[in-house]
A and B are shown apart, each in its own frame.
Chain A
């Protein structure tokens, strides 16, 4: 209920501003890179980790919209994600992402068929509660946001067969972001309550463990210039299924902001063990375009 109250408080920002011409709302007024990039589940963030920043370049008086594509190319799998997101008044973020996880040869080995693909729809919402990661350089208080990601997987039968308990699940998180501007360093930490197996690609909950667990996501990025940041991320995940031990993941990344309209992120990601294949390390590439 408290969350709902805060959500409504956030939405009340929409009412007065909606009177202005809709096109003028895309003010592109935030500083370069302060909208972040698109994380793997479509929210504003880094690559695999969530941030408290609201996506896009709309200031608290404006709106920002963007679309993204992310590809993760692992030795035995590929993940394609495409999505759209809107940041409203630097307060509320709404996102949608579509994921396709291709099992390639593993699909054949498991009798599912070569290139068997899991699909997932992810609906996200994030609300900034307090703090400003950029302006509040005189305070230790980070920007803090809460959010959720509702995920719907289309492979319920296979999920059940591998021991998963549901094909639909919702993650809840609280995220903190702080720009240590004097050090040119952006630091993020978030805690996610989740049941998701491999981000939800293998469903939610399992034969081994079927409750929500608290998982951690952290990242740090050093800004080499207005346009270029290099950093690392780490994310823990639950291990709910007895067929395969799920591992924590990490990556190192470089992000380049061509302008407020276009950014590219390239990473080397270690996704750990995925089902019957160990050492799933590969290239993560993400492009975001927006207004």
Chain B
């Protein structure tokens, strides 16, 4: 039989995990997140403000890694196998202007996939602190 204190510790660990999972589900699971990434990549490459930043990118690899990363950020059952945010954005000299353009395009992609605004914001809230690693200028 489980000792009460162990049970309590288990519950404390378990509840935040459940909370993480609802965002993943609310975004439409792996399929929803994959669609967001497919859409946003198209929008990025069309966006005159930031398309140059992708000139050196291996787009197929980017697509795979971004899907992994977004899945992990949303609390989904994935593993991110890519480089750190510092490494992937090193040398791109991105400014807040560029970071915000990435965010705006992501919002458009999530709109297109039909993810509700409040759910989008829960996801963006987890991405926002990456500004500290992505923006180097």
Contact = CB atoms under 8 A, between A and B. Distances in A.
Interface in B88-137: 95-97, 100-101, 103-104, 107, 117-118, 121-122, 124-126, 128-129, 131-132, 137
Contact of B125 (A59, A61, A90, A182): A182
Interface string A20-52: 000000010111100000000000000000000
Given A135-B132, A181-B124, A181-B128, A226 B117 contact: yes
Interface residues of B, number: 20
A203 interface: no
A83 B130 CA distance: 36
Contacts of A226: 107, 117
Nearest to A32: B104
B89 to A, nearest CB: 15
A20 to B, nearest CB: 12
A182 B122 CA distance: 4
Contacts of A138: 128-129
A183 B131 CA distance: 19
A223 B117 contact: yes
Nearest to A138: B129
Contacts of A90: 96
A135 B95 contact: no
A59 B129 contact: no
B126 A59 contact: no
Give the residue among B101, B107, B118 with the most A Cβ atoms within 10 A.
Answer: B118
Interface string A172-198: 000000001111100000000000000
Nearest to A28: B97
Nearest to B118: A184
B96 A223 contact: no
Given A27-B97, A223-B121, A224-B117, A137 B126 contact: yes
B132 A59 contact: no
Contacts of A162: none
A223 B119 CA distance: 12
Nearest to A228: B117
A175 B12 CA distance: 36
A113 B68 CA distance: 72
Nearest to B135: A135
Nearest to A135: B131
A12 interface: no
- Which of B103, B104, B128 has the largest count of A CB atoms less than 10 A from its CB? B128
A223 B132 CA distance: 24
A171 to B, nearest CB: 30
A199 interface: no
Interface string A212-227: 0000000000011110
Interface string B24-60: 0000000000000000000000000000000000000
A33 B96 CA distance: 16
Given A182-B121, A223-B121, A31 B104 contact: yes
A134 interface: yes
Contact of A135 (B117, B128, B137): B128
Contact of A184 (B97, B103, B117, B129): B117
B134 to A, nearest CB: 10
B48 to A, nearest CB: 13
B100 A31 contact: yes
Contacts of A27: 97
9 contacts: A27-B97, A31-B103, A32-B104, A61-B97, A90-B96, A137-B128, A180-B125, A184-B121, A226-B107
Given A29-B96, A31-B104, 10 more contacts: A27-B97, A29-B100, A31-B100, A59-B96, A59-B97, A61-B95, A61-B97, A135-B132, A138-B128, A139-B129
